[in-house]
Amino acid sequence: MAQFSTKCLIIGSGPAGYTAAIYAARANLKPLLLEGPVPGGQLTTTTEVENFPGYPNGVMGPQLMEDLRSQAQRFDADLRTGLATAVDFAKRPLEVTVDGRDTVLAETVIIATGATARYLGLDDEQKYLGMGVSACATCDGFFYRNRTVAVVGGGDTACEEALYLATLAEKVYLIVRKPYLRASKVMQKRVLENPKIQILFNTNTLGLFGEEVVEGAHLVEHAGTDKEDKFDIAIDGFFLAIGHTPNTEIFKGSLDMDEAGFIKVKGSSTATSVPGVFAAGDVADPDYKQAVVAAGSGCRAALDAERFILENE
């Protein structure tokens, strides 16, 4: 077992975590960043990113994260492989256990552990991830202009994604496992009235097919009933819109969260319910889930942490 001390501990290595490290390091906080199980976060599984500022010709997701990581290293941020496995925010300094054995004592903690998109659990989802399968229409919809796509889900998020994709794609299937939409009435109306969107009620996805990229989906209607009907649809893109799960398990009981598990922050700041603990990126953002928004909140968290340290010296 080893013990380390730092003015600023950053947990997570997506756009929020690396940006927080850049700002904290430039403020001479000498931050220690735990990169977690997937350094770079969700963007490392993304192909081309075209909507992150500063890359006029687009950039591959892994390259974008490597650029952010290198920038943090340039300012001597201490980036370490490790997974936060427990926290004790009831004491000062704040205490975080790493990999179940080491301990970090920190004056401030920035949580940037992100959120994980929910998938159906099909093997084909991983097979075609980045090759037709996506959990972010805003991120990847541009690549499906004048093509045919499918969105899975029946809530507001799914309807929003279907409507967004309908502005780009030639046709959008909305695959809904229930016989109705769970979305708000206004969203239902917009989807039902959009001529580009075809809703497939009582329908589940059995699998996807295609040579190297998604070319279609195997579906079943009224599964397990005497009206069961299996059929295929030809699609170029398959979008999951069944929600995200924030990576906040180890913080339950220590921080205030909403019903879905997203960390609550105070007002326009990144401050959580515990003084000196800040949350940035998707872990505290149930709405936007965009890399540039996460990066901006990482900046804010670092500035909030710096201010907290100055005010409590």
User: What is the spatial distance between Cα 306 and Cα 7, in angstroms, rounded to a whole number?
Assistant: 9
In the set 139, 159, 236, 304, the catalytic residue is 139
pLDDT in tens, 50-67: 889 999 999 998 999 999
Q: Tell me the percentage of the chain whose pLDDT exceeds 90.
A: 86
Partners of 220 in the beta sheet? 204, 230
Neighbour-count burial of 151, counting CB atoms closer than 10 A to its CB (0-12 exposed, 13-18 middle, 19+ buried): buried
Measured between its terminal Cα atoms, the distance across the chain in Å is: 29
The 3-state DSSP class for residue 2 equals: coil
pLDDT attached to residue 157: 84
Q: DSSP character for 129? A: B
pLDDT in tens, 259-275: 999 999 999 999 999 99
pLDDT in tens, 169-225: 999 999 999 999 999 899 999 999 999 999 999 999 999 999 999 999 999 999 999
- Number of Cβ within a 10 Å radius of residue 114: 27
Q: Does 139 have pLDDT greater than 90?
A: no
In the set 8, 78, 124, 136, the catalytic residue is 136
Angle 105-111-115 (CA atoms, 0-180°, nearest 5)? 145
Confidence of residue 145 (pLDDT cuts 50, 70, 90): very high
- Number of Cβ within a 10 Å radius of residue 121: 7
Confidence of residue 235 (pLDDT cuts 50, 70, 90): very high
Partners of 263 in the beta sheet? 257
Higher pLDDT residue, 56 or 40? 56
In the set 78, 124, 140, 282, the catalytic residue is 140
Active site residue 139: yes
pLDDT in tens, 80-136: 999 999 999 999 999 999 999 999 999 999 999 999 889 999 999 999 998 999 998
Active site residue 140: yes
Active site residue 299: no
User: What is the spatial distance between Cα 223 and Cα 219, in angstroms, rounded to a whole number?
Assistant: 10
**Cα Rg, the chain, nearest whole Å:** 21
- What HEC string does 256-283 produce? CECCCCCECCCCCCCECCCCCEEECHHH
Q: DSSP character for 301? A: H
Q: Does 42 have pLDDT greater than 90?
A: no
Q: Which of 313, 303, 311, 256 is nearest to 26 (CA)?
A: 303
